[in-house]
Amino acid sequence: MYFIYMILTTLTLLKSLPFLDEKINIRITTFSLFHFISECVCLEEQLHATIL
């Protein structure tokens, strides 16, 4: 559920910024994806810590 929320937030952010330069949009997308991946890694580590 959290992952879906993150994806929707990223898509909404990109759709709300059509007036920006494409390069800036790409940077925002890259940053959002990087943030999303790091969040996933953190959650995964927390799950492993909880199980162990």
Q: Is the predicted pLDDT of residue 42 greater than 60, yes or no?
A: yes
pLDDT of residue 17: 61
What is the residue-wise DSSP string for 11-52?
HHHHHT-TTS-HHHHHHHHHHHHHHHHHHHHHHHHHHHHHH-
Between 14 and 19, residue with greater pLDDT = 14
Q: How many CA atoms lie within 13 A of 27 on its CB side?
A: 5
Give the per-residue pLDDT at 22: 67
